[in-house]
Structure 1
Amino acid sequence: MAKSYEELMGALGRAVFFRPERQRVRDLLSREAHPQLLVDGDEHPLFDVSLNGVSFLSQDSAESWAAGRELEVTLFLHGREAFRGRGRVARVEPGPRKGVRIGVALVGGFLDLPEILHQDEEGQLETDLRAGPEFWRERIPQPLQESVGRAVHFLHFYRQVLDRNEARYRARGARAGDPIASLADRALAELREPWAEIQRSASRAAVECLGDRQVLLASKRLTETLVTPVLSVCPLVERAYTKPLGYAGDYKVMQYYYNNALEGDSVFARVFHKLGVEHPLSAGVRTRKDYVVRLMEDEHLRYLDRAEASPAFRVASLGCGPAREVSDFIARRRGWPGHVAWTLIDQEDEALSIAYNDSHRQLQATGADGSLQCLHLSFVQIMRDPSLLPIESGQHFIFATGLFDYLGEAVAQVLVRTLFDQLAPGGLVVLGNALGPNDHFWSPEFILDWTMLYRTRDEMLRLAKRLPESAEVSVEIEPGNAYYFLMVRKH
Structure 2
Amino acid sequence: MKHYEELTGGEGRRIFYRAERFDAKTLMSSISPVVDVQDKSFDLLDVSMSGISFVSPQSTSWLDELNKDVPLSLKLDSTEIFAGRGTIRRIEPLKSQQIVALEFTKGYLDIKKILRRHDEISLQKSIQAGMQDTTELVPGEYKQLISDAIFLLRSARTTLEEIEAELSPDMPRRDERIRDTVIDCEKIAFARWKEFYKQGNKIVCEIRHDPKIVNAVKRYTEATLMPELMAGKLWNRSYTKPLGYPGDFQVMNYFYNISLLGETAYEKFCHKLGYSSGEVISFRMTMVRQAIARLTALAAERGKSSFDVASLGCGPAQEVRNFLKADVLPLPVSFTLIDQDHEALTYAYENSFPEVARLNGQAKVNCLHTSFVQFLSAGKLVGKLGLQDLVYSVGLVDYLSARQANRFVTGLYGKLKPGGTIIVGNMRHSEDSLEWLLDYVTDWKLEYRTEDEMLAMADKIEPEAKREVLADVTGHCHLLLVTKPE
Alignment partner, residue 302 of structure 1:
298
The normalised TM-score by structure 2 is 0.73
Going from structure 1 to structure 2, the CA distance change for 1:272 and 1:123 (only over 3 Å counts) comes to farther
Going from structure 1 to structure 2, the CA distance change for 1:478 and 1:78 (only over 3 Å counts) comes to farther
Question: Retained in 1: the 8 A contact 2:425–2:479?
Answer: yes
Match of 2:335 among 339, 342, 362: 342
Match of 2:350 among 354, 357, 365: 357
> Partners of 1:157 and 1:226 in 2: how far apart?
16
Distance apart, 1:258 and its partner CA: 0.7
Q: Secondary structure at the match of 2:480?
A: strand
Instruction: Name the amino acid aligned to 1:328.
Output: N
Match of 1:460 among 432, 454, 467: 454
Question: Retained in 2: the 8 A contact 1:395–1:424?
Answer: yes
The normalised TM-score by structure 1 is 0.72
> Partners of 1:482 and 1:276 in 2: how far apart?
15
How many residues align? The count is 404
Q: How do 1:14-413 residues align onto structure 2 when only pairs under 5 Å count?
A: 70=58, 126=124, 129-130=127-128, 135-170=133-168, 176-279=174-277, 282-308=278-304, 312-332=306-326, 334-336=327-329, 338-367=331-360, 369-379=362-372, 381=374, 385=377, 390=382, 392-413=385-406
Unaligned runs of at least 5 residues, structure 1: 1-28, 43-50, 53-68, 91-103, 110-117
Which shifted more, 194-203 or 234-243?
Answer: 194-203
Going from structure 1 to structure 2, the CA distance change for 1:201 and 1:178 (only over 3 Å counts) comes to same
Which shifted more, 164-173 or 261-270?
Answer: 164-173
Give the CA RMSD over aligned residues: 3.9
Q: Secondary structure at the match of 1:375?
A: strand
Going from structure 1 to structure 2, the CA distance change for 1:143 and 1:489 (only over 3 Å counts) comes to same
Match of 1:429 among 422, 425, 449: 422
> Partners of 1:186 and 1:170 in 2: how far apart?
20
> Partners of 1:457 and 1:120 in 2: how far apart?
52
Q: Deviations over 1:433-460 (max 9, x none)?
A: 0001342321111111100111112221
> Partners of 1:318 and 1:370 in 2: how far apart?
18
Distance apart, 1:79 and its partner CA: 7.3
Distance apart, 1:215 and its partner CA: 1.0
> Partners of 1:436 and 1:119 in 2: how far apart?
49
Instruction: Name the amino acid aligned to 1:299.
Output: L
Going from structure 1 to structure 2, the CA distance change for 1:163 and 1:81 (only over 3 Å counts) comes to farther
Alignment partner, residue 65 of structure 1:
none
Q: Secondary structure at the match of 2:325?
A: helix
> Partners of 2:423 and 2:204 in 1: how far apart?
31
Q: Deviations over 1:215-250 (max 9, x none)?
A: 111101101001111111110011111101111200
Going from structure 1 to structure 2, the CA distance change for 1:398 and 1:119 (only over 3 Å counts) comes to farther
Question: Retained in 2: the 8 A contact 1:321–1:352?
Answer: yes
Question: Retained in 1: the 8 A contact 2:167–2:174?
Answer: no
Instruction: Name the amino acid aligned to 2:476.
Output: A
Alignment partner, residue 476 of structure 1:
470
Q: Secondary structure at the match of 2:426?
A: strand
Higher Cα Rg: structure 1 or 2? 2
Q: Deviations over 1:379-418 (max 9, x none)?
A: 46458x4768647332001111111111122222222122
Q: Secondary structure at the match of 1:397?
A: strand
> Partners of 1:122 and 1:361 in 2: how far apart?
57
Distance apart, 1:266 and its partner CA: 1.1
> Is 1:415 matched with 2:408?
yes
Going from structure 1 to structure 2, the CA distance change for 1:307 and 1:108 (only over 3 Å counts) comes to farther
Question: Retained in 2: the 8 A contact 1:240–1:448?
Answer: yes
Instruction: Name the amino acid aligned to 1:177.
Output: D
Instruction: Name the amino acid aligned to 1:441.
Output: E
> Partners of 1:123 and 1:214 in 2: how far apart?
24
Alignment partner, residue 21 of structure 2:
none
Question: Retained in 2: the 8 A contact 1:386–1:414?
Answer: no
> Partners of 1:415 and 1:77 in 2: how far apart?
42
Going from structure 1 to structure 2, the CA distance change for 1:207 and 1:287 (only over 3 Å counts) comes to same
Q: Secondary structure at the match of 1:321?
A: coil
